Chains A and B, each alone.
Chain A
């Protein structure tokens, strides 16, 4: 069975600075997707970034980038130039590729606070 672990229950960052959220996972599959989702107080889960395991290049989306270490089964999210709107719960998630990426297993989440 796949597991996803987020060891940081809470993180804090000053506005305009950079913060990194950590995630580790366990799987016996060789081909899979990894995701970071954002959940604001509205409760709607929003996809932030997606990484395909067969790609060595780390994914980037504007101010968001990942550090994907396949051998270590580590997948961290870096948020640059943090904004007040980035404050939310962040969830790391995994899906086998054979399910088209729709069989999500989520970690326990990290609450990100952004200080003005």
Chain B
């Protein structure tokens, strides 16, 4: 079974530029998540989709970050314009009903963003 695919693996940009990350979840997984992991910290949820609808985007800085999941499959996370503090690893995950109502998350390998 293929895992969660993310691209690019690395990205370096200047501040105020824009950048986009792509995620393809595991086939059949209805729920998709984007996490931000700043160096030395645990991941923080940015946005959660159920199919192509947003479930939770309370921690997404909406003045500069946007995300979409067209057709309920793959997803794109965009930052415009980027700030120095956006330097982080952006992890995508998808989930599946595992057992007794528990939904297990499967993570991709992330995109490491450096903003100079």
* Residues of chain A whose beta carbon lies under 8 Å from any beta carbon of chain B: 4, 33, 42-47, 50, 91, 93, 100-104, 106-109
Contacts and interface: CB of A to CB of B under 8 A. Distances in A.
B42 A50 contact: no
Contact of B101 (A42, A47, A100): A100
Given A43-B89, A43-B91, A45-B93, A101 B42 contact: no
Nearest to B105: A102
- Interface of B, secondary structure class, is strand
Interface residues of B, number: 26
Given A47-B104, A107-B42, A102 B109 contact: no
Contact of B95 (A33, A102, A109): A102
Q: Which 5 A-B pairs have the closest CB atoms?
A: A106-B42, A45-B107, A100-B103, A102-B103, A43-B110
B43 interface: yes
A43 B110 CA distance: 7
Contacts of A47: 104-105
B109 A43 contact: yes
Contacts of B103: 100-102
Given A102-B95, A106-B42, A108-B40, A33 B109 contact: no
B26 to A, nearest CB: 13
Contact of A101 (B33, B93, B102): B102
B113 to A, nearest CB: 12
A45 B102 contact: no
